[in-house]
Amino acid sequence: MSEWQPGDKRPDTASMLRVNQAGEYGAARIYAGQLAVLGRSSPAAHQIARMAAQEQRHLDRFNALMAERRVRPTALQPIWRSAGFALGAVTALMSERAAMACTDAVETEIDRHYEQQLQELGDQDPELSDDIRRFQAEELEHRDTARAAGSEATFGYPLLSAAIRAGCRVAIAISKRV
Ligand SMILES: [Fe+2]
Ligand SMILES: [Fe+2]
């Protein structure tokens, strides 16, 4: 990895933390919405509850880093609160597979997003990079869990997946700034 030199652009780690915290918050809310619909007893609900617990740990870690580094959270938290929950609830109402298709789509975008951040960070913030790398691995496990549960066999999968992925990309772009 090349070292930072005067004139190079420094990665904006405050913005990175802001968008990551927003994303983990959104993920936790999606799973909360799904569990509100599915209850806690079905096998799918069991898997979702396990993933939700990991999202909560990701969220707690970014909350702690933001407090430590005095980074303000996104002003859009109330929107992600309801939008995340609604996305989770609606997909779970469609079917358990649709709920998994939602996870598949969201984690695909989060993986891409974390990969971009790791490239941008290089070796400039090892503390943050370590967390991102660890969380990225767990997001990929979530995606694999969703695929193993039949996400791709959901009725209307290509359209549903494309719509959710587009929504994630918009949410990521906005949360970097606002
Ligand atoms: Fe996460
Ligand atoms: Fe996840």
DSSP letter string over 64-121?
HHHHHHTPPPPTTHHHHHHHHHHHHHHHHHH-HHHHHHHHHHHHHHHHHHHHHHHHHH
CA of 137 to the centre of ligand 1 (A): 10
Query: Average pLDDT, stretch 32-48?
Result: 91
Residues whose Cβ atom is located within 5 A of ion ligand 2: 139, 142
Give pLDDT tens digits for 69-119: 999 999 899 999 999 999 999 999 999 999 999 999 999 999 999 999 999
Q: How far is the CA of 58 from the centre of ligand 1 (A)?
A: 5
Among residues 165, 131, 137, the alpha carbon closest in space to that of 151 is found at 165
pLDDT recorded at residue 1: 47
- Contact at 8 Å (CB) between 109 and 168? yes
What was the pLDDT predicted at 5? 65
* Cα 5 to ligand 2 centre (Å): 35
Ligand 2 geometric centre to CA of 93 (Å):
20
Q: Is the pTM of this model over 0.85?
A: yes
H or E stretch including 39?
A: none
